[in-house]
Amino acid sequence: MTQDFFLDTTHSDSSNPDLYLASQSPRRALLLEQLSVDFIVLAVDIDESQTTLEPPNDYVLRMATRKAQQGFRCLDESNTQATYATVLAADTAVVFNQKILGKPKNRADAKQMLSTLSGHSHEVLTGICLAQRQRDGRLRQESLVNKTSVTFRSITEQEIEWYWQTGEPKDKAGGYGIQGKAAMFISHISGSYSGVMGLPLFETSELMTRFGFALSGRRLNER
């Protein structure tokens, strides 16, 4: 299995356990940097197919958990010393009427997605999983789902065509990126902006604090 490791040394805190991000998403890496912790990126590859009748909430939780587990397999296969390692994984889905809208296959698919979202509210679900190998070899694991409601104003066909031509929708779930040019289509969000981007920082920081990470001077026993 191809493995991709790099160390982000922007921040340093030797009191923290080793942290690995099981995602190659540059957006998730930028978000995680905001928590001022060192981390190493792991390239994980899993089957992301949705099972028959699987609810979107269950799907993002399963994907995040499987990515975290695959992260530990990558560490084991590379003989990385990870006795007290922590793996963070996340998965994001755009959901309309209980149907997951994935990345568009082509121009027509993207235009159909954006037409569907136009003038309506939809949910963005981000599942996160934090798994930590304890010193005695046991695996401690917690996961949760962040839900955010996003409302689009009505979008014209000309605007959808223009947006497709920018190239932005091609690799985005639901055919749009909230942090990019699609922001002009969004009239309201209720929930977590960072969750829509791919990593809800409030929930992530709460989990990491419970797992022994010292964030922003917060005491480890503070709840």
CA-based nearest residue to 129, from 120, 139, 115: 139
Q: What tokens appear for 78 in the block?
A: 């590379």
Distance of CA 171 to the CA centre of its chain: 14
Query: For residues 201 and 92, what is the distance between their CA atoms, to the nearest angstrom?
Result: 14
Give the up-direction half-sphere exposure of residue 66: CA atoms within 13 A in the CB hemisphere.
13
The H-assigned helical ranges of 129-197 are: 157-165, 193-197
* 97 φψ region: left (φ > 0), alpha (ψ -120 to 50), beta (else): left
> Is 91 designated active site?
yes
Question: Which of 91, 109, 136, 171 does the annotation list as catalytic?
Answer: 91
Residues in the chain: 223
Give the active site residues: 91
